Structure 1
Amino acid sequence: MKTKNLMIMLITLIVEVIITYYIASFFSVRLIEVMFFTGIFFAGTIYYFSSGGGAISRLFNAQVSGQTGLIQQNERFTVKVGPVFWASVVFFLVGLVFFILLIMEVIPPQDM
């Protein structure tokens, strides 16, 4: 893997950890308790915005065709995944492992 991609992945992971830390501190829970959910959100959002030609694009094309009477060429569904998406997937998977350990009570609940 290129050094540039590794740096982008590292920066993405740091930003995601910082955002998750602030969310966890806002709700007064541990970071590992919300990692799974923020990981789903980050990965899903990045996947949605890095793809093209899906159902939303077809909907907009149909609306424009209905309003103008011009038939538009549909774009094939493509996803351009890069280091930011893969960093979010890694963050999600680490959060999933912690979530499973919390559910199985391997990691004890937080003392108040």
Structure 2
Amino acid sequence: MRKKDVLIMLVTLIVEGIITYLIASFFSVRFIEIMFFVGFAIACGIFYLSSSGGPMARYNEVQVTAQTGIIHKSEGFTTKKGPIFLASVLFCLIGLVFFLLLIAEIIPPSAK
């Protein structure tokens, strides 16, 4: 990996950590309790926004074909797996490990 990609991944992990902290503070839960869910939501959002040629593209092609009568060549499904997506998946996997440790009660529940 290039240094630029590593830096982008670190910044992404920090931003996701800040977002998770803010959400955890708002809902008064521990950081590690929602880390997996926030990471999963962000990873899914990045995957959706970085992909092309999916169901929405096909729907738009059908609409244009119906209105104009011109048949367009269908675009294949592609996605970019860049450093931001990989960092989000890493954040999600780390959150999953912590979540499983919470469920197994290896990490004790909060003392509230």
If the TM-score is normalised by the length of the shorter chain, which range does it land in? over 0.9
| 1:33 pairs with 2:25 | no
| 1:43 pairs with 2:31 | no
Structure 1 moving runs of 4+ over 3 Å: none
Q: Identify the residue that residue 60 of structure 1 maps to in structure 2.
A: 60
In the alignment, structure 2 segments of 5+ residues that lack a partner are none
- Cα deviation, 1:38-64, whole Å, max 9, x if unaligned, reads 011011000111110011110110011
Deviation at 1:73, TM superposition (A): 1.1
SS at match of 1:49: helix
Matched-pair identity in %: 59
Q: Identify the residue that residue 93 of structure 1 maps to in structure 2.
A: 93
CA distance in 2, matches of 1:42, 1:26: 18
| 1:69 pairs with 2:69 | yes
The Cα RMSD (Å) is 0.6
Q: Structure 1 length normalisation: TM-score?
A: 0.98
The amino acid across from 2:44 in the alignment is G
SS at match of 2:29: coil
Q: Identify the residue that residue 5 of structure 2 maps to in structure 1.
A: 5
Deviation at 1:70, TM superposition (A): 1.1
CA distance in 2, matches of 1:81, 1:95: 20
